[in-house]
């Protein structure tokens, strides 16, 4: 038996990051404390990753022993990192789910300002996709529906005027339909 054959594991994602078009972190979550034990090492890796990918047209790069899949949109870069022996298609499915979920949550307005304004929901979506490096779900519509359920629990005082009006419209519509 070949000794270098890696055993399959549930821990497929080493990290997820969203960077702006200057390479600054919007949000990042690292699941492998051995690969990135400190915030300084994480930021150094992010700068290096951004420098290697921000002008490239590819979707995948090998960097520092990691397989990194990425995607850019307007002024954001989305990254999903896995080990060097990880299946790129699995990492790509996580990346696509992340991007599609955020796109649906932000009503296709995937840009830095919109992500920053809804960062809590974006983080919630990330947590629904991946937990401690284990992929939980890669279907963006189920992620969005679960995240939407949780945002319905926001107290009235913390909702935006648009959310309150939308809720009132829904209630009025259903009362008229009875």
Tell me the pLDDT tens digit for each residue of 122-152: 989 999 999 988 899 888 888 888 887 655 5
Amino acid 155: pLDDT: 53
- The pLDDT value given to residue 1: 45
Domain-embedded: residue 57: yes
- Per-residue pLDDT tens digits for 34-92: 888 899 999 999 999 999 998 887 899 999 889 999 999 888 999 999 998 888 999 99
Say which residue, 31 or 56, is predicted with more confidence. 31
Q: Is residue 116 part of a domain?
A: yes
Residue 2 lies in a domain: no
pLDDT category, 154, cuts 50, 70, 90?
low
pLDDT band at residue 97, thresholds of 50, 70 and 90? very high
Domain that holds residue 94: 15-177
Domain membership of residue 83 (yes or no) is: yes
pLDDT of residue 167: 72
DSSP string, the chain: --TTPPPP-SB---EEEEEETTS-EEEEEE--TTT--SHHHHHHHHHHHHHHHTT---SEEEETTEEEEEEEETTEEEEEEEETTS-HHHHHHHHHHHHHHHHHHTTT--SHHHHHHTHHHHHHHHHHHEETTEE----HHHHHHHHHHHHTTS-GGGS-HHHHHHHHHHHHHHHHH-
The answer to whether 100 and 129 have CB atoms below 8 angstroms apart is: no
| 165 vs 31, more confident | 31
Give the count of domains, the chain. Answer: 1
The CA distance from 16 to 37, in Å, is 15
């Amino acid at each position: 038996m070949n000794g270098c054959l890696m055993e399959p594991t549930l821990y497929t994602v080493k990290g997820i990051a969203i960077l702006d078009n200057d390479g600054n972190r919007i949000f990042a979550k690292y699941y492998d404390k051995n690969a990135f034990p400190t915030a300084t090492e994480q930021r150094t890796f992010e700068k290096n990753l951004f420098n290697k990918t921000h002008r490239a047209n590819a979707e995948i790069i090998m960097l520092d022993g990691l397989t990194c899949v990425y995607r850019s949109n307007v002024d954001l870069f989305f990254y999903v990192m896995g080990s060097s022996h990880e299946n790129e298609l699995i990492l790509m499915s996580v990346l696509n789910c992340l991007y599609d979920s955020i796109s649906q949550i932000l009503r296709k307005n995937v840009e830095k300002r919109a992500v920053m304004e809804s960062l809590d929901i974006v983080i919630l979506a990330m947590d629904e996709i991946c937990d401690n490096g284990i992929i939980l779900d890669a279907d963006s519509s189920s992620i969005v529906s679960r995240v939407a359920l949780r945002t319905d629990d926001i107290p009235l005082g913390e909702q935006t005027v648009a959310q309150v009006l939308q809720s009132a419209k829904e209630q009025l519509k259903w009362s008229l339909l009875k």
